[in-house]
Amino acid sequence: MNLILLGPPGAGKGTQAKLLEHKFSLQQLSSGDMLRTAVLAGTAVGKQAKAFMDKGALVPDRLVVEVVFEYLAGMKSGKGFVLDGFPRTVEQAEALDEWLEERGGGIDRVVVIQVRDELLVERIAGRFTCAICGEGYHDLFKRPLHDGVCDKCASHEFKRRADDNPSTVKTRLKAYHTQTAPLVSYYKEQGKVAIIDGEAAIEDVSRQIDDIFAESATG
């Protein structure tokens, strides 16, 4: 099963993609993580992408597509995947459809995680991750059980994303509404869309996605 998680920044795509990876052995692909890795490694793509990411703007399609397709091409076949953050424009979706079709594959379901803008700013501003294992936390909604210690790997190091600040978040939300939201119609025309309530608790959102997954797997 190949899934896309679609939704604004802060909707919980990354959290849900990780849960799906563990529960259903899907391979998780986050274009944001791939780009951040490229920026850190100082690759040609990373150098070009950085200025866009710092502003909260979308990275040009040709750069993102290059990084994502290289990753997809190197993936184990036979296992499904869950895409988090890609595609983000109709051009990327078209390129993805073409790429998968050429290899005899395709997207099965597109789960749209809906959250109102006013909740997203608060969600994004409070989030941080363990610098060692990547476990996600939030100042208000999910603090480590013991302050300053990661629940998962006991590390004491945490980090926050440079683009998780209020002004960049506004640009990212605008990019979502103007450039990414049209994808809902694109995939509706293909009959693949399921819309879920992303304002519920993490476990409830996860349950909604599990139901869609089970429904699609059986038929």
Footprint of ligand AMP (CB under 6 A): 9, 31-32, 35, 52-53, 56-59, 64, 85-88, 92, 163, 172
- Name the residue nearer to ligand AMP (CB basis): 88 or 109: 88
The active-site residue, picked from 13, 36, 109, 123, is: 13
- Which amino acid appears at position 139 of this protein? D
Question: Is 13 one of the catalytic residues?
Answer: yes
Rounded to a whole number of angstroms, the minimum distance from the CB of residue 159 to ligand AMP is: 13
Closest CB 63 distance from ligand AMP, rounded Å: 8
- Please indicate whether residue 127 is annotated as part of the active site: yes
Residue 116 annotated in active site: no
168 in Cβ contact with 176 (< 8 Å): no
Amino acid in the structure at residue 88: R
Query: Which is nearer to ligand AMP, 149 or 161 (by Cβ)?
Result: 161
Which one from 36, 109, 123, 172 is the annotated catalytic residue? 172
Residue 36: phi and psi, rounded to 5, are -65, -35
18 is catalytic: no
Q: What angle do CA 67, 34, 51 make, to 5 degrees?
A: 85
CB of 120 to ligand AMP, least distance (A): 11
Distances (CA, A) of 141 to 11, 56, 152: 13, 24, 17
| Closest distance of CB 127 from ligand AMP, Å | 11
SS (H, E, C) 127-156: EEEECCCCCEEECCCECCCECCECCCCCCC
Residue closer to ligand AMP (CB basis): 17 or 209 = 17
Q: Which residues face 28 on adjacent strands? A: 82
123 is a catalytic site residue:
no
Tokens of 129: 């991750």
Select the residue whose beta carbon is closest to ligand AMP and give its number: 32
Catalytic positions, please? 13, 88, 127, 161, 172
